Amino acid sequence: MTRARRWIGEHLVLGLGLLVLAYTFVPIAIVVLMSFNDSSTSRNVYKFQKFTWDNWLHPGSWADGMADSVWLSIRIALLATVVATALGTLAAFALVRHRFAGRSAANLIIFLPMASPEIVMGSSLLALFVSAGFGGQLGFWTILIAHIMFCLSFVIVTVKARLSGLNDNLEQAAMDLYATEAQTFWRVTFPLVLPGIVGAALLSFSLSFDDFIITNLNAGQEVTFPMFVYGANQRGVPMEVNVIGTAMFVISIAVVLGNEIVRRRQEKALAA
Amino acid sequence: MTSTAGVPPVSTDDTTAAKPRGRKLTGYWLILPGAVWLLLFFVIPFYSLVASSLFDPKGSVLTGYEMTWHVGNYVDAFNQYKGQLGRSLLYAGLATLTCLVVGYVLAYAIAFKAGRWKNLMLVLVIAPFFTSFLLRTLSWKLILADDGWVVGVAQAIHLTDVLNIIGLTTTDDRLLATPFAVIAGLTYNFLPFMVLPLYASLEKVDIRLIEAAGDLYASPMRGFFKVTFPLSLPGVVAGTLLTFIPAAGDYVNAQLLGSTNTKMIGNSIQSLFTTQGDYATAGALSVILMVIIVAAVMAYVRTAGTEELV
């Protein structure tokens, strides 16, 4: 009896924690489940009717505009990721490896976008675009500018974390062995920071692909995937959106795990 | 911890920053592009926002907007939308509190009880971010559906009655389209923002201090409230801010899970901007929201007494 009680005492918090974790996955399970739902027999799209592979197998029958919205989101996310990762990585190197006046101001400006409500950032950008005379040209480029802006901070913080966690013994060793500065950077520093950069790029891609509030204010007539889902909500959501949601989830998990495995190998190799 | 023989662990920014290596100007060149981008598209837009909040309220997309320094916009906007403002703060506050309680349990379990599953559990905390935020929110529509089992269970244990009495629902047979649903959605969506800083702070707590409390005959409860919790305060502050701020500005949950009676300030700002073209009122509302949030954050940080946020 007491042993059972002690066991419960030991594992209660862990059990509760796992329960919370399970709760966070319920909606995802539903997205996956609904991607196999045959909604043709009923208009209630919020109920599982019948199992089918059709949503997955027939992209041709997807709702109008969905494929376009996915493609637009992918293009924007790719471009935003490339630019934000490049600019953010440079800035992270500056902040960790260099001393210059205005460093703390720079840190503050980088922190603020992560702590501002999206609705305020989105409406500020819209106000800027309109007052600069681009009110009629809202679309691809304005979305891209906004996405690079909010991805930047996250990239900088992620790369900074990796960079400041690095021990500079290896770099000094390379220098001692007469490597030039460039050689040291490309052969030692960069490969060590790379998992951080890849992590930051992944984060950017998913932030950009998933953003709704800022995008919706600055998109003009363009429709990204989240906007498509939001719009579809009013008419009844087509089951195919869950196919995209599920695919997104599976791909991201695979990529994150891949990056993690590479990072672990690298750490093991360094420890050996 | 013990394997880094002789080498002090480099963890804080300052340790590495103390030995800068670059030439003087390199730092500026490296940070310049990113800094310019943030300046142009994050800082300057605030100025445009404040400017648009002072436009002549009669302006529209067709007639154009005129700068008339119309400070009255703020009074009008506040009076007209104080319901939505109050609701935003209330819903975000309740969601933050729920996140704190639920998230603390999870963060504590990961930091102290997960053992070798720690990293896996951390990945699982952020994994929900990998599916669309909107799709996850829409899933709650299905979970809380009128004929679903959640409503059934809530009725069976009289939770619906309780919610109805405290005003979080309006009828005793529905959860969807009520304040409860909106708060539940906000809680769900922003939980990871709470868990991660809490974990980061709990992870740093020296377990020997907790053991010491036990050795000095503190009950586990007392040990927690006198030792563990105070030491995790920086995480509590960071987590509550990272949850409260986006929750207060969110309108997706209110739109998808709520009703016309649960509109939050974000709903109003976005429809004023995009469908009504009333930039003056929308701008004023955005500025009001930002000012309230900044004031609340400053007051809160001062009370909680931590300044190591940035």
Residue B138 lies in a domain: yes
Q: How far is B154 from chain A (nearest CA, A)?
A: 16
CB A155 within 8 A of CB A88: yes
- Give the chain A residue whose CA is nearest to the CA of B115: A14
Is A100–B106 a contact, with Cβ atoms under 8 angstroms apart?
no
Nearest CB neighbour to A127, from listed B10, B39, B52: B52
Domain CATH number, residue B276: 1.10.3720.10
ipTM of the complex: 0.87
- pTM of the entire structure? 0.86
Cβ-proximal residues to A104 (8 Å cutoff; 6+ apart), any chain: none
Residue B42 lies in a domain: no
Per domain, the residue ranges of chain A are 65-238
Residue B92 lies in a domain: yes
Q: Which residue has better confidence, A50 or A180?
A: A180
CB B236 within 8 A of CB B304: yes
Length of chain A: 272
Residue B46 lies in a domain: no
CB A122 within 8 A of CB A214: yes
| Residue A69, pLDDT above cutoff 90 | yes
Stated as kind and residue range, the H or E segment containing A231 is helix A225-235
Q: How far is A79 from chain B (nearest CA, A)?
A: 15
Please give the residue range of the domain that contains residue B88: 73-304
What is the predicted pLDDT for the residue at B4? Answer: 36
Residue B255 lies in a domain: yes
The number of folded domains in chain B is 1
A65-238 homologous superfamily = MetI-like (1.10.3720.10)
pLDDT in tens, B12-48: 444 444 445 555 688 889 999 999 999 999 999 999 9
Contacts of B29 in chain A (CB under 8 A): 94
Residue B60 lies in a domain: no
Helix/strand/coil for B177: coil
| Residue A205, pLDDT above cutoff 50 | yes
What is the predicted pLDDT for the residue at B157? Answer: 84
Residue B45 lies in a domain: no
Residue B139 lies in a domain: yes
Mean pLDDT of chain B: 85
Nearest CB neighbour to A98, from listed B20, B283, B297: B20
Backbone angles phi, psi at B212, to 5 degrees: -60, -40
Mutate to test the interface with B, among A16, A120, A137, A138 (most CBs of B within 10 A): A120
pLDDT in tens, B156-197: 888 888 888 888 887 777 888 899 999 999 999 999 999 999
What is the radius of gyration, based on Cα positions, of chain B? 24
Is A30–B109 a contact, with Cβ atoms under 8 angstroms apart?
no
Mutate to test the interface with A, among B54, B117, B119, B139 (most CBs of A within 10 A): B139
What is the predicted pLDDT for the residue at A158? Answer: 92
